[in-house]
Amino acid sequence: MWRVGTVIALHDETTTARTITFEVPDWPGHVAGQHVDVRLTASDGYSTVRSYSIASAPNSDGRVELTVERLPNGEVSPYLTQELAVGDRLELRGPIGGWFVWHTEQTEPIQLIAGGSGIVPLMAMIRSRASAASTAPFRLLYSVREPGAIFYRDELLALSDRNHSVSIAYAYTRATPKDWPRPPSRIDATLIANTTWPSNLVPTCYVCGPTSFVESATDLLIAFDNGRDKIRAERFGPTGERK
Amino acid sequence: MGTISRGFTGRRSSADAKLPPGQYLTTDFPVLSAGPTPHIPLDRWEFVIDDGTNVLRKWDWKSFRELPTETITVDIHCVTRWSKLGTSWEGVSIDTMLADVKTDASHAMARSYGDYTTNLPLKDLRNKQAWIAFRFDGKDLAPEHGGPARLLVPHLYFWKSAKWVRGITLMHQDKPGFWESLGYHIYGDPWREQRYSGDE
């Protein structure tokens, strides 16, 4: 069933990513980690649909936030990040997905690993934890190209400061902040060893990012003795080797 | 017609005519999996057809690769809405693998390394509609795409084409597999747009 959402706010996260807040009056609610289908329809009736992860925590006021990264040759993401204006209406279907989700009843340690815009469903989990006043121990390892590519920067800082409730580690792959101790590099065994939960605490791990990122991060988690059944993954984009 | 999206024009291509409803064309090969990619050494790979109790047929990699193979060129359609046209595979027809199996089962559960499962009517695995594929685009199938071997059932949404497949269990009634238990459609025909449970 398709529902009409009205854009009530727009916020640029980076130069290429925008958060869109929809008000959906009959929204049935969602669980952190789920996604929605978004349908765009042109005036001649042509329509197309894409799936986007929900960034907002479950709430009761019918608000759904998506953060969309603009793809250079995308059909939909340039429209959503550049054309869409407050007051516009779009069709949404969902929420969808029952696997890559974090429920507020979960109390075990949680390891989140994000590559680029893979932070979006993980942010929904972090926000869900905060709004439910959960005390589940959370760690986030967030890999970005450069400091300017971080989504939700201030909010993440605030959440990690408050009683150190979410411990956050950043990894930079192309350019680091000034005086950063680690040269630009991809996630590796040292970083996993130093910043993620030890496997003897049996964390549930959620990994989201481009396919090649997820492949290497999940392989590293397994190399550090995390059980395969404790690792949930969501991949997007091409594999990188076949174009 | 749904709500018009102000200022949206979209892109149309002549290939759209060949696509099931709600799909768009990609030339990439995106990956959709629920967990880590299993890496299965060929000397430990095996494929078993069973009826839930008894093993009916069993192959190791060597005996599997001695079966006659086919080259398959098909369009594939992912429930996440990408479609890829004219993909080229090499594999063994399930007809070949079921040839000596006598059964009155109605359904099958494909089982994978990494504990993934997906259910299908048995008739959808027969009659030149399904293969165990081990090569894509002339190359050995990469682990993230389901290698060493995956099920290929191109007339259904691609989640039915189980990666890292290790066997088929024949069943006398339908039973939901992994994604089918998590909100996805029990059958998954892209031409009827059976994406989610509740779709007609």
Distance of alpha carbon A201 from alpha carbon A191, whole angstroms: 18
Percentage of residues in chain B with pLDDT exceeding 70?
98
Number of domains in chain B: 1
* Architecture of the domain spanning A110-236: 3-Layer(aba) Sandwich (3.40)
Q: Do A90 and B30 touch (CB under 8 A)?
A: no
The boundaries of every CATH 2.40.30.10 domain in chain A are: 2-96
B4-19 residue pLDDT tens? 999 998 887 766 778 9
In a domain, B85, yes or no: yes
Concatenated DSSP letters for B25-57? E-SS-----SSPPP---GGG-EEEEE-SSSEEE
In a domain, B64, yes or no: yes
In a mutational test of the B interface, the residue from A24, A219, A239 whose CB has the highest number of chain B CBs within 10 Å is: A239
In a domain, B129, yes or no: yes
Distance of alpha carbon A208 from alpha carbon A218, whole angstroms: 10
Q: A219, A207 in Cβ contact below 8 A? A: no
Strands B150-152 and B131-136, bridge-based pairing: antiparallel
Residue ranges making up the domain that contains B150: 46-192
Q: Do A97 and B182 touch (CB under 8 A)?
A: yes
pLDDT mean over A22-44: 95
Residue B72: give its domain's CATH number. 3.90.420.10
B152-168 residue pLDDT tens? 999 999 999 999 999 99
Q: Do A235 and B114 touch (CB under 8 A)?
A: no
Query: Is the Cα dihedral A215, A219, A220, A222 positive or negative?
Result: positive
Type of residue found at B77: H
pLDDT tens, chain B, 200 aa long: 578 999 998 887 766 778 999 898 887 777 778 889 999 999 999 999 999 999 999 999 999 999 999 999 999 999 988 999 999 999 999 999 999 999 999 999 999 999 999 999 999 999 999 999 999 999 999 999 999 999 999 999 999 999 999 999 999 999 999 999 999 999 999 999 999 988 88
For domain A2-96, the question of CATH label 2.40.30.10 is answered with: yes
In a domain, B160, yes or no: yes
In a domain, B101, yes or no: yes
In a domain, B175, yes or no: yes
